[in-house]
Chain A
Amino acid sequence: MLGEASKISRVLLLAGKEYITLMNIHKEIPEEKIRKELNKSIGTITQLPPLKSAVKRVERQRKVYYINILEIQGRDVLFKIGCEAGTYIRRVCDDFGKKLKTGAHMQELIRTKAGPFNEKDMHTLQEIQEAYFLYKDEHNENKLKEIIKPVEFAAAHLPKIWIHDSAVSSICTGIDLSIPGISKLETEINENDLVAVFTLKNELVCIGTAMLSTEDIIKNEKGKALKIERVFMKRDLYPKWKSTII
């Protein structure tokens, strides 16, 4: 996340993730047993964060959406796991080893999805360096523009609301969004959902927590719709509502 876009990191931290993991089991066990036991980790799991972790070490529940075993070779198991933010894959492997009383550990881990990002969008430091060189020395910005996505991309997984130009300025000062400010909105928004708010030019204004569902926003003409959590747009980009009248 570059420059101002650093602020969006929380949105990605809270987003669902997918990983490919190589797990090493410490004793040989039948393939069928491995499959059966790993499948049991799908659903809600309880795990204690690892010793060396950034969070408080208390047991917490996390959702595992799917596990797909890609390959089993002796004691090595390669699998893909889709899970809620804050799931420790190292723990998933440790707990697997404990349950089978064989011991197991996570040998390798790559993240293949973080919210809207997936492996197709992934670039190495070398690619970035080459693209920046092309831009700086040869004035060719195409590669760099392919690599750097606008901050809006990081909110692509959230439900969206588009607001009128006249509502932008007050949102940027942190005032909650009311129904009259809304021009368009997506369906399937539920109360308490994290929602991304855009201008009619598709610029990210802020993210907020829905105070009403899509249905309620459609039905009503007054009232607060969204509690602002974080503003991304600069204050002075859109004029104050009053100055547009004069």
Chain B
Amino acid sequence: MKDKLPFEEITRKVYTKKESQTNLEHGINPENRTVTELLNNGVICLNKPSGPSSHQVTEYAKNILEIGKAGHGGTLE
């Protein structure tokens, strides 16, 4: 049974054009971000309950997490 979206079917390899080092003084590996950083720049895959609109559920999530800004990635149709 086929159940893959087009991007899931492409196997990509990494090619090194020019090796270089990254300076650890700037930036941070995403895995090491703090919760505060995640709350300000993160994503949640939310199982939306039926009933309230996507917009309303986004508002609920904002209130729960006590953050000022959030958006959603498209309504269900």
Q: List A residues at the B interface (Cβ < 8 Å).
A: 1-6, 8-9, 12-13, 15-18, 50, 53-54, 65-66, 68, 80, 82, 85, 88-90, 108-111, 113-115, 117, 121-125, 128-129, 132, 135, 141, 144-145, 147-154, 157-160, 164-165, 168, 179, 182-188, 199-204, 214, 217-218, 237-239
A65 CA / B61 CA spacing, docked (Å): 32
Q: Which of B14, B43, B76 contacts A111 (CB 8 A)?
A: B76
Q: List B residues at the A interface (Cβ < 8 Å).
A: 1-8, 10-23, 26-31, 33, 35, 38-47, 49-50, 57, 60-61, 64-77
A125-B61, A154-B43, A203-B27 known; A1-B71 Cβ under 8 A: yes
**Between-chain CB contacts (< 8 Å), 29 pairs:** A1-B44, A3-B39, A5-B42, A5-B43, A12-B73, A18-B3, A54-B75, A66-B4, A68-B1, A82-B2, A82-B4, A109-B77, A110-B76, A124-B46, A124-B49, A125-B61, A128-B65, A132-B64, A135-B35, A147-B44, A148-B35, A150-B42, A151-B41, A151-B42, A153-B43, A157-B7, A164-B18, A165-B20, A187-B14
Is there an interface contact between A125 and B57, defined as CB atoms closer than 8 Å?
yes
Is there an interface contact between B44 and A2, defined as CB atoms closer than 8 Å?
yes
A18 CA / B6 CA spacing, docked (Å): 11
Q: Which of B18, B45, B68 contacts A123 (CB 8 A)?
A: B45
B45 contacts across to A, CB distance below 8 A = 114, 117, 121-123, 149
Is there an interface contact between B20 and A13, defined as CB atoms closer than 8 Å?
no
Interface of B is mostly: loop
A123 CA / B75 CA spacing, docked (Å): 17
Is there an interface contact between A202 and B29, defined as CB atoms closer than 8 Å?
yes
A66-B3, A183-B20 known; A3-B44 Cβ under 8 A: no
Q: Which of A1, A9, A109, A165 contacts B23 (CB 8 A)?
A: A165
Q: Which of B3, B13, B17, B46 contacts A68 (CB 8 A)?
A: B3
A188 CA / B65 CA spacing, docked (Å): 39
